[in-house]
Structure 1
Amino acid sequence: MGRPSRKHEILQAALACFTEHGVDATTIEMIRDRSGASIGSLYHHFGNKERIIGALYLAGVGEYAGMLDEGFRTADSAEACVKLLVTSYIDWVAANPDWARFVLHSRGRVEAGELGDQLREANRLHYGRILQALAGYREQGLLRPLPEDCFASIVIGPSQDFARNWLAGRTQSDLRECRELFAQVAWESVRAG
């Protein structure tokens, strides 16, 4: 595996600073020091702290979307696709707790910032791929007829709420141990009949 790009190194340094000091208290200088990047390199890749925040957010949701896209290539049933939405989310959160915390707490800031349109477009494309992966199963009547804008909340909402509490240290159960339970509940919530 090759050396991480300078851009990736800066994003990872930013995440470490945001985790340690908070997003608002972190300065460009802190990120520069942590990453070892020159100020010119940092501004070349991002321009300012808000763009770093947006890029880090988009990279996180992009990684989850990539996991889903890969999984959809091998999922061979409506049940497998629905469960994949949950298990991929839980797997990503469990593997990236600091990044997941950042994503869960930064959405509004990114939506309101310079990269808001980019985030909305990424979300539109991501949700479109999910709907496309499930379209044939919907047509076959294997999924409950639900408004499209409710589907994701029904499927991912419970695991996302639990993950938020797990990340905050407010659960007794480990998120990974609940993975199959949340996947089964999601399937039972949207399957036909």
Structure 2
Amino acid sequence: MSPKQQRGEATADRLLDAALSVYATSGEQGLTVSAVTSASGVSLGSLYHHFGSMDGLATALFTRWNGRLLDELVTALTQSRTARTGIRALVHAYLRFIQEHRAASFFLHSSDPARHMMHAGQQVRDLQNARLVEIAAWLEPRIRSGEIAPLPGPLIEALVMGPVVATARRWLSGIDDQDLDEAARILPERIWRSLEP
């Protein structure tokens, strides 16, 4: 990578980090061009050069953190030998991710990114699908062998991810005193029961 490319990548990273920081402290209303350029120390022209618009910046921010989350989930699954231990590892990885990356998780789990990404929906879906293929590849032989009930993929996703995402949203919202350690103890086995043949 040339020095110019390295500088460009560093500038884009500063903008993404600043956007996440601004979002974490001010929400969507505070996520403005002036707030991001002020927080990052990067010029308005550079923001538009790298991302094209605030929607482009929000899409890149979502893509970055959603990719990191999916990478951790794929890693947790592929290091597990059985379906049951895989489901347990996936739930723990998800809950650990939201604890360790609260600001990014708040952004990922809010409804705001969806609005920003309407124009880049296919691009985001393509990136997600590449990682979801790995999850499906891990599940498929376990379904064929009878270790997991032969359910449609979207239903398996709903049974596994639905309770975890709902728990994450409650914890991130601070509405109640959702205990993630308790959720990590209870959810994996309950979810596993819904997938047993």
Fold conserved (TM > 0.5)?
yes
Unaligned runs of 5+ in 2: 1-6
Distance 1:40 1:111, change over 3 A: closer
In the alignment, residue 149 of structure 1 is paired with which amino acid?
P
Contact 2:83 2:142 in 1 (8 A): yes
Q: Where does residue 22 of structure 2 map in the other structure? A: 17
**8 A Cα contact 2:65 2:104, kept in partner:** yes
Count of matched residue positions in the alignment of Structure 1 and Structure 2: 189
- Does structure 1 conserve the Cα–Cα contact (< 8 Å) formed by 2:19 and 2:36? yes
Look up the SS of the partner of 1:23 in the other structure: helix
The corresponding residue for 1:108 is: 114
Q: Deviations over 1:58-87 (max 9, x none)?
A: 111100111123223321111122222212
Q: Percent identity?
A: 26
Unaligned runs of 5+ in 1: none
Question: RMSD across aligned C-alpha pairs, in angstroms?
Answer: 1.9
Aligned-partner Cα distance in 2 for 1:168–1:73: 31
Structure 1 residue 108, shift from structure 2 partner = 2.6
TM-score by length of 1: 0.89
Structure 1 residues 173 and 80 mapped into 2: Cα distance closer, same or farther (>3 Å)? same
1:174 aligns with 2:179: yes
Residue 115 of structure 2 aligns to which amino acid in structure 1?
R
Greater per-residue helix proportion: 2
Instruction: Calculate the TM-score normalised by the size of structure 2.
Output: 0.87
Deviation at 1:124, TM superposition (A): 2.1
Does structure 1 retain, via aligned residues, the 8 Å contact 2:58–2:113? Answer: no
Alignment match, 2:43: 38
- Equivalent runs, 1:110-125 vs 2, <5 Å: 110-113=116-119, 115-125=120-130
Is the alpha carbon distance of 1:176 and 1:95 closer, same or farther for their aligned partners in structure 2, counting shifts above 3 Å?
Answer: farther
Give structure 1 regions of 4+ aligned residues with deviation exceeding 4 angstroms.
none
* Secondary structure in 1 matching 2:37: helix
